[in-house]
Amino acid sequence: MIYTCTITPSIDYTVYVPEFESGKLNRSEEVYYYPGGKGINVSRVLKRLGVSNQALGYAGGFTGHYIEEFLKTEGVATDFIETTEITRINVKIKADEETELNGPGPKLTAEQLAVLTEKVRLMNKDDWFVLAGSLPHSIATEYFLELAEICQANQVRFVLDTSGPALESLLTTSVFLAKPNQQELGELFNVEISSLVAAYRYASKLVAKGTQHVIVSMGGDGALLVTKDIALIAKAPQGTVVNTVGSGDSLVSGFIASYAAHQDPALAFRYGVASGSATAFRSDLCRKEDVELLLDQVEIYPFKEKDVTK
Ligand X SMILES: O=P(O)(O)OC[C@@]1(O)O[C@H](CO)[C@@H](O)[C@@H]1O
Q: Which residue among 127, 161, 249, 290 is the active-site one?
A: 249
Question: Rounded to the nearest 5°, which phi and psi values hold at 10?
Answer: -160, 160
Q: Which of 3, 5, 12, 49 binds ligand X (CB under 6 A)?
A: 12
Whether residue 249 lies in the annotated active site:
yes
CA angle, corner 219, sides to 216 and 224, nearest 5? 30
Does residue number 35 form part of the binding site for ligand ATP (CB under 6 A)? no
12 binds, among ligand ATP, ligand X, none (CB under 5 to 8 A by kind): ligand X
DSSP 3-state of 79: strand
For residues 83 and 227, which CB has a smaller minimum distance to ligand X in the complex?
83
60 binds ligand ATP per the rule CB under 6 A: no
Long-range contacts (CB closer than 8 Å, 24 or more residues apart) made by 151-157: 151/120, 151/123, 154/121, 154/123, 154/124, 154/125, 154/127, 155/124, 155/125, 156/120, 156/123, 156/124, 156/125, 156/127, 156/128, 156/129, 157/127, 157/128, 157/129
Q: Is 181 in the site for ligand ATP (CB under 6 A)?
A: yes
**Position 237 contacts ligand X (CB under 6 A):** no
Site for ligand X in 38-57 (CB under 6 A): 38, 41
Which of 5, 37, 58, 255 is close enough to bind ligand X by CB under 6 A? Answer: 37
**Nearest to ligand X of 134, 182 (CB atom):** 134
Provide, rounded to whole angstroms, the least separation between the CB of residue 181 and ligand ATP.
4
Biggest CA-to-CA distance, the chain: 55
- The distance in angstroms from the start CA to the end CA of the chain is 40
Name the residues annotated as catalytic: 249
Where on the chain is the footprint of ligand ATP (CB under 6 A)? 181, 217-220, 222-223, 236, 241, 244-249, 251, 273, 276-277, 280
